[in-house]
Amino acid sequence: MIQLQDIEKVYRTKTIETVALNRVNLHVERGEFVSIMGPSGCGKSTLLNIMGLLDEPTSGVVSIDGQPVKTHSDKQLAKLRNEKIGFVFQSYHLIHDLSVVDNVELPLLYRNISGGERRKRALAALEKVGLSTRTRHFPSQLSGGQRQRVAIARALAGAPEIILADEPTGNLDSVMGEEIMEILLRLNREEGTTIVMVTHDEHMAHKTNRLIRFFDGQQVADSLVLEAQI
């Protein structure tokens, strides 16, 4: 589904060179729920951004469904993100000026579908995360957990095959965090959505199928969770 080959990401300034990712090779299979763990600054989010085509590697090849994306134009990358990938961010990144349902419609705006159909699909996504009664609210009127559920509904609305979640429970208390995790697990289990989640939370990571650990831009462990627990 997602294949990373020899990925390097180097940030350069005039005086300093920082290696964020160092020769990373990773293959995420269709239907997997992968968690990525590691200390702050080890390159987890950079990796997720590269997987999500939001950032370009300094070297190496990113392939989605077997197709390398290196030569894709801005427009082609935008289309791939729109159709294949849904994002969930730690700080939600909802658009404050739009209502809940308008936020959820966002990925569908960039597809050639009618307003009525967009609204239908956005409401269905909100239903899945249990927020069908808050469609007309604005993000500022919701709790942190509710905002993250809106963000998940937005990621789901376009029915992507992949969801990339960057510390989705990081800003939430444990109860809210569990709720969000349950939604993601259900998506993976019932709809077969491939999920890659960056997390600091060992407990959450152990609920996923596969755990990859990073340290100083390098992949230091990659194991099935059941094996790890044994």
Partner 1 sequence: MLKNYFKIAWAVLQRRKFFTFISLFGISFTLMVLMVVTSLFDHVFGPQMPERGTDRLLFVNNLREEQGEGYSSSGPPSYYFLDRYVRRMQTPEKVSINSVFNPVNSYIHNKKLALDIKHTDQQFWEILDFHFLEGNPFGALEVKNASRVAVINQTTRKNYFGTGPALGQTIEVDQVKYRVIGVVEDVPVLRIQSYADVWVPITLKSQDFKDTGLRGGYFATIKARQAADIPKIKEEYARIIQQVSQLNPKEKKQVHSYPDTILESFARNFLGSGKEDKVGFLYTMLALAAFLFMLLPTINLVNINISRIMERASEIGVRKAFGASSNTIIGQFVVENVFLTLLGGLLGFLLSAGVLALINDSGIIIYAQLGLNLRVFAWGLFLCLVFGLISGVYPAFKMSRLHAVEALRGGSK
- Contact between 42 and 215 (Cβ < 8 Å): yes
Strands 2-12, 59-64: pairing is antiparallel
Comparing CB distances to partner 1, the nearer of 55 and 178 is: 55
CA distance 8 to 191: 33
- Between the alpha carbon of residue 30 and those of residues 55, 68, 162, 172, the distances in Å are 22, 17, 8, 28
CA distance 217 to 26: 13
DSSP code, position 32: -
Tokens of 228: 């790890």
User: Least Å distance between CB 170 and partner 1?
Assistant: 15
Binding footprint of partner 1 on the chain (CB under 8 A) = 49, 52, 54-55, 74-75, 77-79, 81-83, 86-87, 89, 93-95, 97-98, 102, 105-107, 109-111, 115, 154, 158
Q: What's the distance, Cα to Cα, between the start and end of the chain in Å?
A: 28
CA distance 203 to 178: 10
Comparing CB distances to partner 1, the nearer of 94 and 195 is: 94
